[in-house]
Amino acid sequence: MCSAERETRGPERETRGPERATRRPERGTRGPERETHVPERETRGLERGTRGPERGTRGVRGDRVGFESAGAVARAIRRKDVSAREVVAAHLEHVERVNPRLNAIVTLTAERAMDQAALADERLAAGQDVGPLHGLPVAHKDLADTAGVRTTYGSPLFAEHVPEHDDLVVARMAAAGAISLGKTNVPEFGLGSHTFNPVFGMTRNPYDHARSAGGSSGGAAAALAAGMVTLADGSDVGGSLRNPASFCNVVGLRPTPGRVPSWPVAAPWSHLGVQGPMARTVADTALLLSVLAGPDPRSPISLETPGGDFTPPLEGDLRGLRVAWAPDLGGAVPVDAEVRDALRPVPSLFEGLGAEVTEACLDLSGADDVFRTRRAWQLELTHGALLDEHRDRLKPDAVWNIERGRELTGPDLARAERLQSALHQRVLAFFERFDVLLAPVCQVVPFPAELDYPHTVDGVDMETYLDWMASCYLVTAMGCPALSVPAAFTPAGLPVGLQIVGPPRADARVLAVGHAFESAARAGERRP
């Protein structure tokens, strides 16, 4: 039985949620759908051992750009070493070869992308100012509205929905010169850390096609890992940027809430859901964050500090950095032996970089209650109208989650508020003693794709779909920026990521630490 058809027993986790759920399903499209392409769902056998050029290499050519860093490709385009048309065409050819086996990009906009690439080359030839992402092939998560392009949210209710306007994240990437190749796959409404839905089927892990790519930004992570795009956007409530990044050996940043403003959203005051950057390297992740960050008056939690450039501080050593190493978040979560073994060298590696490493974790009591209560409330807010009108067309987990939100009382929400306030004070006190917290991104390695979710972790039964990703959602409750960076591989060749957490608003710090670790560990250089 395909996992897209399986019934899971507990709540699925990740929803960016906002405005998507409050819309009524479209009866028809409102604009031209551009070259829609749905890849094959269940094919396997992508050739192993393919390796692209090493990161940051020079002399970019149009026929070998699939694994170049986004920064290197952007510089080559601006130098006119290669044209945007060559770069986009090469990526589209690679998508056609690789994507049918992975199902990462589910709506391909090839003709539109080539038209935009031609315009990009014309602007450069005319001496016009160009943005930092000029000519770079990207893809957008299928939860982010993209004007004129089918955006389904992974739901049959919106299978032919074509938005009229861009999400703010999509608009900022386009304004910076990025060229979209299409939309990346998600679980239905982004609910889940395993990417499958009844519209497009399942996304498979580039490192092992029999395993999950994670979620809910699983399509984005798989597309990056396979070299189909240079950059991608994602979103994260309880791990949707970090979990697939770990599973697919790429980088994903959950920014400080408000660092990347979201609009339109149905829950604009919520700090749970954020949008953020994904890439193959920390430097490229910082490049995209520099484009996405910055205030917007329509977002009430938007940080008023300018977005700025997050790339310059990346270079440097870690001498004197105070590191807290929490291999199981202070006993708060079980972690499979494969993950523990893969991350065992992390403390000594940081010590070799000059950091002072102590095994420690803050008191996370109440964090689980905070996250589950606030998430349930947000799901009812963002998806409740769909439950009222289309209960029979929603997957069982969506129904369960929304109903949990409806069961909440005023005292429940008040308790969560008190717990959140106390947790915030403990977070501030902890980061007076330490500069960063290190922990596993995921409690398990990429699991078999036919499973709905891992039902045991290190011998501990997972009662709900939510339980196995506590290593991410407890960090969400902290309100901190958190980076997933490639750390190691298991003997079976499965990726394992490291989660680097900083104090609120210290996004630049976690990027700098991640860059140093990435350069030392070099796990991100290993291709599928």
| Residue 472 CA: distances (Å) to CA of 94, 350, 363, 443, 454 | 32, 22, 15, 9, 15
Give pLDDT, residue 65. Answer: 66
Write down the pTM of the prediction.
0.90
Give 317's pLDDT tier (boundaries 50, 70, 90): confident
Residue 4 has pLDDT above 90, yes or no: no
Q: Write the pLDDT tens digit of every residue in 75-115.
A: 999 999 999 999 999 999 999 999 999 999 999 999 999 99
Q: Write the pLDDT tens digit of every residue in 226-267.
A: 999 999 999 999 999 999 999 999 999 999 999 999 999 989
Helices (H), 19-83: 70-79
Residue 23 has pLDDT above 80, yes or no: no
Share of the chain above pLDDT 70, in %: 88
> Residue 305 — φ and ψ, nearest 5°?
-70, 145
Give 3's pLDDT tier (boundaries 50, 70, 90): very low
Give pLDDT, residue 19. Answer: 37
Q: How many CA atoms lie within 13 A of 214 on its CB side?
A: 39
Residue 26 · residue 160 · CB < 8 Å: yes
Ramachandran area for residue 356 (φ above 0: left; ψ -120 to 50: alpha; else beta): beta
Please provide the size of the chain in residues. Answer: 528
Residue 63 · residue 85 · CB < 8 Å: no
Q: Write the pLDDT tens digit of every residue in 405-439.
A: 999 999 999 999 999 999 999 999 999 999 999 99
Q: Which residue has the tokens 């990207």?
A: 138
**Ranges 2-6, 98-102, 218-222, 491-495: which has the least confidence:** 2-6
Residue 7 has pLDDT above 50, yes or no: no
Give pLDDT, residue 227. Answer: 98
Give 64's pLDDT tier (boundaries 50, 70, 90): low
Give 309's pLDDT tier (boundaries 50, 70, 90): confident
Quote the distance between the C-alpha of residue 284 and its chain's center: 14
Strand partners, 201: 197
Provide the 3-class DSSP secondary structure of residue 31.
Answer: coil
Q: What span, in angstroms and rounded, lies between the C-alpha atoms of 164 and 474? A: 36
3-20+34-40+72-306+316-525: which CATH topology? Amidase signature (AS) enzymes (3.90.1300)
Q: Residue range 520-528: average pLDDT?
A: 98
Q: Which residues are catalytic?
A: 141, 216, 240
Residue 374 has pLDDT above 90, yes or no: yes
Give pLDDT, residue 60. Answer: 54
- DSSP codes joined into one string, 185-231: --SGGG--SS-EETTTEE-EETTEEEEE--SSSHHHHHHHHTTS-SE
Give pLDDT, residue 66. Answer: 78
Residue 296 has pLDDT above 70, yes or no: yes
Share of the chain above pLDDT 90, in %: 84
Mean pLDDT of the chain: 90
